[in-house]
């Protein structure tokens, strides 16, 4: 009996829909609307090629979000590891296919749509870690041996993603994973020791583990100015565009920097710059406020939840969402190195939308199932 | 519940801590926005207005591919292109319509351009058409006002002077596909080409070179006004191959349009001098991109021009495998030099008859004559005595059933069957009759032309484990030939020298004795004599009734039922230097089809080698007498 463990009575579908946190849905949709407007502007006032596509993707994303929201929370607990293994497998497949492929075949195959398992991993890793910690006791998490397994859970996808190489996603994955550890009440001294050990191991790893070409890749990440047309130039142009926006911006479709193509990738990673150029500080603050409100909702829903699984997943996803937009905006303002990370709900891109909507779906699902409690071992039944 | 309370307390405390941290970081972002937009806003506004400087990437010339003597095999040509600058277009349809009057833009091209405008980052330009004529260039320049967003630039495009002749080696370059388009800005240049297959792909990164940069001042519409500074890129490295391009052209021409392939290599160094696969394709047509129809035509051609048959075609070796069987039998000690078998044209095993190609039989045969005359019954007999596993071990030693990691993509391993293989893969027991078939190189066994060239090299180079190679070196452009490192000396494969000697003598006779299978295809100039072995690979089963009524001739059969013609050979006779393998798919008998091709190639090759033939004749005259003496001996024995 699936629902026998629930203290809360079974909810009907109608009740679930009634219970949906509609104000959060409204916030998400408003943020996406800003995205459509900016993509319309990025194409010089055309709905093609980006805005229209993005709307369709968002619509599909909404449906998926609702489906996730009305699903049983028990389902996610039970299949967290399965999803993790599947996603890890996909990562391996990507690694494998990166190496082979006939030249002629690739060249003729123009209609291929790429799926990025590393994006999905952002959600799945949080589920898997929450699944591990959901029934842990305070004594458990103080034992180092208890932490070996979740550390492996986290390290495996990070390693694979680092080899892709995608430093941005790997760091984001690491940070949101560590946040789950932190929320699971792992003692502070372990984090401090871990940090020290991590820093101390950099030198031997550099000298003995990494191959020359891998070192070269890391160096390019750390010193983008090595690449004259690369990140350094982009960030300089991005700062000029952003700064010249002033308090209220140059006006919709009137961002000279963006429209004269000084600004690269304005529909993906640098879309915030375009927003700030055309709508100024006010426009930027509106978007930041929307993001902040979404975060607060995630935070409140997690705290209100009665079961530890939901608390960990909810806060984990909220943290990942925060890191995602924080790193992107800090990057385009020259505060962090350019690592290639889209602005959630706003940047053009299919997998990013899908991941974010699944994440919000889970938060809504936790909200609906906030009063459910699991018995220990519920995941295995 | 008490426990959960503790846990919840810790959780909520930490969640609040995290949120607090986030709020601090967010304030940092807002502070930075305030700094950039309000405090320094005016400064950036002026910067934005003066922002007329754009950075451009300069494409480096792609490195050439040269043959062993520095003769160009792949070069660059000047190429006038019409580009589309997306941000300058007012309306894509009117621009293309106006352009059509000059360039005749097809509907398909228009579709591609519109799609690229949508897909590409707007930062980069799009190629409308390449290789423009002077007339077209001047017409576009003259009508520039009606063509907003269209510009002309001079680029370089790849050119393969010998077209089809070397396509199987060089491969071709093509547009960067979406998957290949990584963050490297060089790859995002309009019309940039990368190697798609062949040597172009193998050495692609080295051939590309490094992009330079140029700072240009532009007006408010993005048009360039003048160049401010320029950092030159680095032209791509040059790949020096082991190929002799003149020979390559000769081989390719000699094979013609038949589905066939040939490999010529140096028996000591393993350097591949020519590697041809026909029918071929012209790599120059890939420059502009193929239409679906053209591509389909290439793909669906039954003679598969895109497939490099020399390394990925797998064939039963037929009678050229007999040398391997002979060496295995000699090594196992089941036969000696004088072992004889009486061939009456067939051999009975159980209920089945195994036939010799010569219906009336060869009479008494020893090893020497059995190779020279390619007697099947003799090899049925000794294959049975030797056993499949010993034969397979010898086949692997001479280079069959394995990949050599030759640089080209698509190399196949072939197949050397053993008892264990049959059990594991087919799930059935090995049959005696299958050993018989293996004895004449038929049945499960599969080899590639490259492997056969390696086999013959190892048989005649003193038994050393030579490995084929195709690239001598890849070096930055220097304008003079690079120095080569001396090729490695290869280990000995440990086959007894007297056994190798016996097989080699038999291969001399197979060509040069009037009883040899390829006597008609011998080289007649004594200073250029070659040795070798023919093979005729049956691709169909001959039924009992057909045997009784007389086996059908190749000419009477449908093309794809005819035998494959195979030949392996080497030259010169005394100190072998060159090895060759030739396969003509469904070409009939090895002696009539493959051997003459190999003869012409080996003759041409030796005539052009300053160290062989009449020049070296004086020193070698004494050694050279040997085959003639032998030839006389065959006459007596026969």
pLDDT classification of A375: cutoffs 50, 70, 90: low
Chain B: residue whose CA lies nearest to A330: B29
In terms of Cβ atoms closer than 10 Å to its own Cβ (0-12, 13-18, 19+), residue B486 is exposed
What's the average model confidence in pLDDT over B16-45? 92
What pLDDT score does A110 carry?
26
CB-closest option in A49, A230, A295 to B22: A295
CB B343 within 8 A of CB B363: yes
Q: How much is the average pLDDT of B511-519?
A: 91
Q: Does A280 touch chain B if contact means CB atoms closer than 8 Å?
A: yes
> Given pLDDT bands bounded at 50, 70 and 90, which one contains residue A8?
low
The answer to whether B29 contacts A340, with C-beta atoms less than 8 Å apart, is no
Which carries the bigger pLDDT value, residue A9 or residue A173?
A173
| Contact predicate B570/B599, CB 8 Å | no
- Partner residue facing B48 (CB), from A137, A244, A330: A244
Tell whether A288 is within 8 A of chain B (Cβ). yes
CATH code, residues B245-277+312-637? 3.40.710.10
Closest CA to A270 of A12, A66, A54, A38: A38
Residues of A with Cβ-Cβ distance to B4 under 8 angstroms: 308
Chain-chain contact of B40 with A114 (C-beta, under 8 angstroms): no
Residue A203 contacts B, CB cutoff 8 Å: no
Entry pTM: 0.59
Alpha carbon of B103: minimum distance to chain A alpha carbons (Å): 25
Q: Determine the average pLDDT of the residues in B565-582.
A: 93
Q: Distance from CA of residue A287 to its chain's centroid?
A: 17
CB atoms B220 and A261 under 8 Å: no
pLDDT (0 to 100) of residue A372 = 84
Note the pLDDT tens digit of each residue in A144-174.
Answer: 899 999 999 999 999 888 777 677 788 899 9
- For residue B565, give the 3-state DSSP assignment: strand
Nearest to B34 among A110, A281, A329 (CB): A281
pLDDT (0 to 100) of residue B633 = 46
Residues of B in contact with A240 (CB under 8 A): 44, 47-48, 51
CB atoms within 10 A of CB B150: 23
- In total, the C-beta contacts within 8 angstroms joining chain A to chain B are 170
**Res. B629: pLDDT tops 50:** no
In the prediction, which pLDDT does A337 show?
76
Residue A277 tokens read as 């150029």
Specify whether the CB–CB gap between B263 and B89 falls below 8 A. Answer: no
Pick the residue of B18, B30, B48, B118 with the most A CBs within 10 A to test the interface with A by mutation.
B48
pLDDT at residue B628 in the model: 47
Tokens 């197949």 map to which residue?
Answer: B415
Residues in A 112-131 with any Cβ partner in B closer than 8 A: 112, 114
| Chain B nearest C-alpha distance from A59 (Å) | 21
Is B44's pLDDT higher than 80? yes
If one compares A269 and A379, the residue with the highest pLDDT of the two is A269
How close, in Å, is residue A179 to chain B by CA atoms?
A: 8
Q: Which residues contact A103 (CB under 8 A, 6 or more apart)?
A: B171, B174, B195, B196, B197, B201, B409
pLDDT over 70 percentage in chain B? 89
pLDDT for res B627: 45
Topology classification of domain B54-238: Penicillin-binding protein 2a (Domain 2) (3.90.1310)
Residue A278 CA to residue A256 CA, distance in Å, equals 9
Contacts of B179 in chain A (CB under 8 A): 101, 106, 112, 114
Task: Give the closest residue to B168 by CA, choosing from B307, B312, B313.
Answer: B307
**Average pLDDT value for residue range B292-298:** 79
List the structure tokens of A325.
């937009």
CA distances from B401 to A188, A368, B404, B445, B501 (A): 60, 63, 10, 9, 24
Chain B contact for A362 (CB, 8 A cutoff): no
Q: Which residue has the tokens 């370059």?
A: B173
Whole-number pLDDT of residue B504: 94
Q: What is the pLDDT of residues A206-215, one digit of tens each?
A: 877 666 666 7
Q: Judge whether residue B575 has pLDDT over 50.
A: yes
Burial class (CB within 10 angstroms; exposed 0-12, middle 13-18, buried 19+) of A219: exposed
Distance between CA atoms of residues B267 and B573, nearest Å: 12
Asked if residues B283 and B167 have their Cβ atoms less than 8 Å apart, the reply is yes
* pLDDT at residue number A115: 61
Are A319 and B18 in contact (CB < 8 Å)?
A: yes
Question: Is A159's Cβ below 8 Å from some Cβ in B?
Answer: no
Evaluate if residue A100 carries a pLDDT over 60: no
Most confident of A261-275, B134-148, B382-396, B537-551: B382-396
- Percent of all residues in chain A with a pLDDT value above 90, rounded to a whole number: 48
| Nearest residue of chain A to residue B12 (CA atoms) | A303
pLDDT, tens digit (0-9, with 9 covering 90-100), for B580-605: 999 999 988 888 999 999 999 999 99
The pLDDT assigned to B637 comes to 40
* C-beta of residue B318 within 8 angstroms of C-beta of residue B590: yes
- Which residue among A229, A244, A303 places its CB closest to the CB of B213? A229
Contacts of B336 (CB under 8 A, 6+ apart): B330
List, for residues A298-334, the tens digit of each pLDDT value: 999 999 999 999 999 999 999 999 999 999 999 889 8
Ranges of each domain in chain B = 2-51, 54-238, 245-277+312-637
Task: Give the model's pLDDT for residue A220.
Answer: 60
Average pLDDT, whole number, for chain B?
84
What's the Cα-to-Cα distance from B410 to each of B139, B255, B312, rounded to whole Å? 45, 21, 6
Cβ–Cβ contact A302 with B under 8 A: yes
Residue B610 φ then ψ, to 5°: -65, -20
B630: pLDDT confidence band, cut at 50, 70 and 90? very low
**B176 DSSP 8-state letter:** P
pLDDT by residue (tens digit) across B189-232? Answer: 777 888 888 899 989 989 988 888 777 766 545 556 667 777 77
Q: Which of A108, A260, A265 sits opposite B222 (nearest CB)?
A: A260
Q: Provide DSSP, B75-137.
A: EEEEEEEEEE-GGG-S-HHHHHHHHHHHH---HHHHHHHHHHHHHS-TTS-EEEE-S--HHHH
Closest residue of chain A to B58, computed from CA coordinates? A229
Sign of the CA dihedral with B138 first, then B142, B144, and B147 last = negative
Give the E-state strand segments of B242-372 in sequence order.
260-266, 272-278, 341-343, 346-349, 352-355, 363-365
Query: Which residue bears the tokens 């790893």?
Result: A205
Tally of CB atoms within 10 A around A371: 13
A110 touches chain B (CB under 8 A): yes
Q: Which residue(s) pair with B341 in the sheet?
A: B365
More confident residue, B99 or A229: B99
Residues B49-91 have pLDDT tens digits of 666 666 777 888 899 999 998 899 999 888 888 888 776 677 7
Q: Cβ neighbours of residue B326 under 8 Å, at least 6 residues apart? A: B367, B370, B371, B379, B382, B499, B502, B503, B506
Mutate to test the interface with A, among B23, B31, B51, B197 (most CBs of A within 10 A): B51
Q: What would the two tokens of residue A147 be?
A: 């932490």
Given this model, what pLDDT does residue A45 score? 81
Min distance A82 CA to chain B CA atoms (Å): 26
Q: Which residues pair with B80 in a beta bridge?
A: B154
Closest CA to B598 of B538, B512, B518: B518
pLDDT for B166-177, tens place per residue?
898 999 888 787
The token pair that represents B207 in the structure block: 């051939």
Residues 6+ apart with CB under 8 A from B319: B374, B376, B440, B441, B517, B533, B534, B535, B536, B566, B590
pLDDT, residue B624, reads 41
A228 — pLDDT class (breaks 50, 70, 90): very low
């Amino acid at each position: 009996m699936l629902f026998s463990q629930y203290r809360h009575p079974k909810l009907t579908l109608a009740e679930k829909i009634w219970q949906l946190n509609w104000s959060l849905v409204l916030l998400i949709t408003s943020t996406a609307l800003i995205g459509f407007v900016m993509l319309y502007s990025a194409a010089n006032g055309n709905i093609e090629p980006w805005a229209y596509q993005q709307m369709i993707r968002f619509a599909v994303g909404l449906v998926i979000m609702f489906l996730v929201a009305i699903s049983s929370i028990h389902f996610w607990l039970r299949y967290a590891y399965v999803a993790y293994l599947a996603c890890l497998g996909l990562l391996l497949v990507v690694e494998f296919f990166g190496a082979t492929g006939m030249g002629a075949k690739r060249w003729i195959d123009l209609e291929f749509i790429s799926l990025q398992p590393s994006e999905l991993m952002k959600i799945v890793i949080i589920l898997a870690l929450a699944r591990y910690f959901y029934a842990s006791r305070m004594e458990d998490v103080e034992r180092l041996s208890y932490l070996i397994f979740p550390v492996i859970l986290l390290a495996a996808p990070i390693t694979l993603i680092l080899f892709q190489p995608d430093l941005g996603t790997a760091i984001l994955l690491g940070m949101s994973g560590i946040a789950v550890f932190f929320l699971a009440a792992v003692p502070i001294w372990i984090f401090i020791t871990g940090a020290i050990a991590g820093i101390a191991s950099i030198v031997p790893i550099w000298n003995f583990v990494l191959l020359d070409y891998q070192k070269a890749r890391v160096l390019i990440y750390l010193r983008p100015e090595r690449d004259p047309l690369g990140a350094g130039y982009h960030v300089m142009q991005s700062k000029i565009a952003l700064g010249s926006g002033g308090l209220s911006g140059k006006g919709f479709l009137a961002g000279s920097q963006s429209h004269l193509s000084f600004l690269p990738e304005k529909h993906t990673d640098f879309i915030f710059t375009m927003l700030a150029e055309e709508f100024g500080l006010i426009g930027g603050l509106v978007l930041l406020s929307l993001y902040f409100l979404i975060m607060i909702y995630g935070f409140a829903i997690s705290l209100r939840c009665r079961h530890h699984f939901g608390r960990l997943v909810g806060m984990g996803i909220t943290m990942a969402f925060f890191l995602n937009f924080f790193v992107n905006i800090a990057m385009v303002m020259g505060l962090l190195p350019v690592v290639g990370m889209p602005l959630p709900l706003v940047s053009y891109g299919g997998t990013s939308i899908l991941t974010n909507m699944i994440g919000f779906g889970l938060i809504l699902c936790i909200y609906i199932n906030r009063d459910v409690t699991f018995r220990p071992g519920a995941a295995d039944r | 519940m008490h426990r959960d309370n503790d846990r919840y307390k810790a959780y909520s405390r930490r969640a609040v801590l995290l949120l607090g941290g986030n709020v601090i970081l967010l304030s940092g972002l807002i502070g930075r926005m305030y700094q950039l937009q309000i405090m320094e806003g005016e400064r950036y506004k002026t910067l934005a207005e003066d922002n007329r400087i754009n950075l451009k990437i300069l494409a480096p010339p792609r490195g050439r591919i040269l043959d062993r003597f520095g003769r160009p095999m792949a070069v660059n040509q000047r190429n006038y292109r019409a580009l589309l600058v997306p941000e300058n277009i007012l309306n894509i349809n009117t621009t293309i319509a106006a352009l059509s009057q000059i360039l005749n833009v097809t509907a398909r091209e228009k579709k591609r351009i519109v799609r690229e405008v949508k897909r590409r980052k707007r930062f980069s330009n799009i190629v409308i058409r390449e290789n423009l004529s002077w007339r077209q260039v001047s017409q576009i320049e003259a009508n520039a006002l009606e063509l907003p967003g269209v510009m002309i630039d001079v680029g370089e495009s790849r050119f393969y002077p010998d077209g089809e002749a070397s396509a199987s080696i060089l491969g071709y370059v093509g547009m960067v596909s979406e998957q290949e388009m990584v963050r490297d800005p060089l790859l995002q240049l309009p019309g940039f080409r990368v190697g798609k297959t062949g040597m172009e792909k193998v050495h692609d990164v080295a051939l590309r070179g490094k992009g330079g940069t140029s700072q240009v001042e532009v007006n408010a519409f993005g048009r360039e006004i003048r160049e401010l500074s320029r950092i030159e890129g680095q032209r791509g490295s040059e790949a020096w191959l082991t190929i002799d391009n003149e020979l390559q052209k000769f081989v390719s021409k000699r094979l013609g349009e038949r589905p066939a392939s040939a490999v010529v290599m140096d028996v000591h160094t393993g350097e591949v001098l020519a590697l041809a696969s026909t029918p071929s394709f012209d790599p120059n047509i890939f420059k502009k991109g193929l239409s679906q129809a053209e591509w389909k035509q290439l793909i669906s051609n039954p003679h598969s021009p895109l497939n490099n048959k020399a390394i990925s075609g797998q064939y039963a070796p037929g009678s050229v495998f007999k040398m391997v069987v002979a060496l295995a039998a000699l090594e196992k000690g089941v036969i000696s030099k004088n072992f004889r078998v009486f061939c009456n044209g067939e051999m009975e095993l159980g209920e089945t008859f195994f036939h010799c190609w010569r219906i009336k039989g060869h009479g008494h045969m020893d090893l020497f004559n059995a190779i020279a005359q390619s007697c099947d019954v003799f090899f049925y007999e000794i294959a049975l005595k030797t056993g499949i596993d010993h034969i397979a071990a010898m086949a692997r030693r001479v280079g069959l059933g394995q990949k050599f990691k030759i640089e080209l993509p698509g190399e196949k391993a072939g197949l050397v069957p053993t008892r264990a293989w049959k059990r594991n893969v087919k799930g059935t027991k090995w049959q005696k009759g299958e050993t018989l078939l293996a004895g004449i190189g038929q049945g499960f066994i599969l080899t590639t032309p490259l492997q056969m060239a390696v086999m013959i090299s190892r048989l005649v180079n003193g038994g050393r484990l030579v490995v084929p190679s195709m690239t001598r070196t890849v070096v930055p452009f220097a304008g003079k030939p690079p120095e080569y490192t001396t090729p490695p000396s290869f280990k000995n494969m440990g086959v007894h020298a007297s056994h190798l000697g016996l097989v080699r003598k038999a291969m001399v006779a197979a060509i040069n004795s009037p009883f040899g299978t390829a006597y008609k295809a011998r080289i007649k100039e004594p200073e250029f004599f070659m040795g070798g072995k023919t093979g005729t690979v049956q691709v169909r089963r001959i039924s009992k009734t057909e045997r009784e009524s007389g086996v059908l001739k190749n000419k009477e059969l449908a093309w794809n039922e005819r035998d494959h013609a195979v030949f392996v050979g080497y030259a010169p006779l005394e100190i072998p230097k060159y090895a060759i393998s030739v396969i003509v798919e469904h070409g009939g008998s090895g002696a009539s089809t493959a051997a003459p091709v190999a003869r012409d190639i080996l003759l041409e090759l030796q005539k052009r080698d300053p160290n062989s033939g009449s020049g070296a004749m004086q020193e070698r005259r004494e050694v050279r007498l040997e085959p003639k003496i032998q030839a006389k001996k065959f006459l007596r024995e026969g």
